[in-house]
Amino acid sequence: MWLSERRKFLGKCLGGLALASLSLTACGFTPVYGPQGTGDRLQGKITLQAPETRNSYQFNRHFETRMGRPANAPYVLKVKLSTEELDQGATSTGNTTRFKVTGYANYVLSEGKTQLLSGSTSAFTGYSNTGSTVATMASENDAYERLMVILADQVIDDLILSAGNLPE
C-alpha cells in the first residue's frame, strides 16, 4: 500500500473513531475514570472478609492493591471462592502433564444489612507437570495465584461498572 493510500485509510479510520466517540457521548456514555465517572467512587470504601485460605488471601491482597485499604468503609464485600482442577494432557503411559484450574467467585456487596450488588464470575488458568516435584508445586502455586488475580480483577470491574447504581 502506498503512503498516500495509507494516509487516506488512516484519515477515514480516525474520522470514524471521532464520530463513534461523539455518538457515544451523545447517548450518555461516560468513561468510568473520566470526568463525572464513577471509577473512583469505591476506592478505599470496601472491607473484605478476613482470608481463611491461601486463595482468599491472594484474592484479598490483589483486591486491596487495586481498590485501596479501607478506612471506615461503608461497604462490605463477601466473596465465596471455589476451584476445580482437571487433567488436560497425558503421556502414552498415562501420566498427566497438564492441568486446567477453573475458579469461581460469587460475591455480595452490602452496606449494613442491605444487599446492594451481587454477582459471580469465573476464569481458568493452567500449569504443567513436566518438571521436578518442586517445579510442579511452584507451577501449581503460581497458577492458583494468577487465577485469584484474574477473579479479583473481574469482581473489581463488575463493582466499578455498577458503582453508578449505588446510593450516594
- The count of residues in the chain is 168
* CA nearest neighbour of 115 among 124, 123, 106: 106
Element at 151 (helix H, strand E):
helix 133-162
At residue 56, the pLDDT reads 98
Q: Which residues pair with 81 in a beta bridge?
A: 105
Same domain, yes or no: 50 and 103: yes
At residue 92, the pLDDT reads 83
At residue 7, the pLDDT reads 62
> Contact, 103 vs 81, CB < 8 A?
yes
Range of the domain at 136: 39-165
Query: What CATH number is given to the structural domain containing 98?
Result: 3.30.160.150
C-alpha to C-alpha distance for 63 and 148, rounded to whole angstroms = 9
Q: From first to last of its 168 residues, what are the pLDDT tens digits of the chain?
A: 565 666 666 566 665 555 455 455 555 666 666 666 666 788 999 999 999 999 999 999 999 999 999 888 899 999 999 999 999 888 888 888 899 999 999 999 999 999 999 999 999 999 998 889 999 999 999 999 999 999 999 999 999 999 888 877
Same domain, yes or no: 71 and 115: yes
Same domain, yes or no: 98 and 131: yes
Same domain, yes or no: 60 and 97: yes
Is pTM beyond 0.85? Reply is: no
Same domain, yes or no: 141 and 160: yes
At residue 64, the pLDDT reads 96
